[in-house]
Chains A and B, each alone.
Chain A
């Protein structure tokens, strides 16, 4: 995938890569995001790398036609890469979280739902929900997940996850170009 030197073929695409680089494989999101920022330079796509998803990202999402979230996942085989569509959470907070096992957060399942209770463990569906509720925007969205081996405190990815990063980058670029697609798995 080469760099675009002219045009903005991916204008309107927003990549949000999140994770804590001091919690082992939770750094897969930021690692992938930094590579994507270089890969997508000049394409018009915007890449945001953050430690965690927070409500203010809803404003960025609302201004995009397509959002690609990138995160590590606790519930996928280590080193695997998964892509699935993400929708805004439903009316009752918690439905999005319960239906979408897509977060690497270590917060217990009940607390992962919709901005409750910690307000520092929201998921992609909550960002999309706020984009819809506050800005009447419903961008297409997918989540690229990298199966993690360990979330123990420490700087650096496991060898298994490090090997998966190129696949995660490829999957995110495809997702950026193709939009929200059907779920797929790619074991790195």
Chain B
């Protein structure tokens, strides 16, 4: 790692009140997200991932930039990610080895093999795993924010929704309830152009997701989702206002889903040249790296150093868990309820 003191060159001032260390930390989360997902792709091809694999390629910037605007630490701010927000969970403190264990359905995974991929949470670190029913996390996170309000705690809840998920009834019920109650909730609306194979034109009739949210009396801004610092800055303002009791705020991030819905999806419905253009001209990590280097906030060697450390960390996490055992079959029975502690083993299994 390069020196942590600011460079003595005439670089432009660092935006958004961030320090140089923080800029590099953001870079590290971006790189970690991508490297970890690339490792998962390799494990998927080796059939070590049990189910599907969901990539956030091209969306790492908005996930990391938005989560980085929260206060992190024990019992601070709170977020609920979607399937393409791995970066946001890493920012909140999720460990690569937990993600790897989840995807490989290991006994030691956070959900002990009960749930898929990044569907897990940590109440103390401040993230709540989504369920597959899009929109459901909006009312749930409204309830989290309601608790902060009832207890007069200066905490903020942040929740993600996609251009597809915003079509669900639970989204609309939840955001309206939160708006009416003026809850400290921040919505990150991800316009990534694809809901499985469905484009926005078949999903809603407005130009922007922000237009839909404003109808609920929620202030909303639209930002370039692949500009990490723009997402950070917009989210930081939203979080600050929500924390001050100004109610729900939304940030729409325009981005692009560069992989299929999941790894099995060959994206035949996506124009090839469009994919290539986003990869070539608008990759959030490429753009951020270039900005760091062009502004003199970091040297190539700093980034290379981070890349290597991230790779070594992911290697170590993989080695630590890849050969771990699957859950014991009978561990499927306990903890449906607090009481009774375990479900009954059926009679034909004790014959």
Specify whether A and B are partners: no
Chain B residues with CB under 8 Å of chain A are: none
Chain A residues with CB under 8 Å of chain B are: none
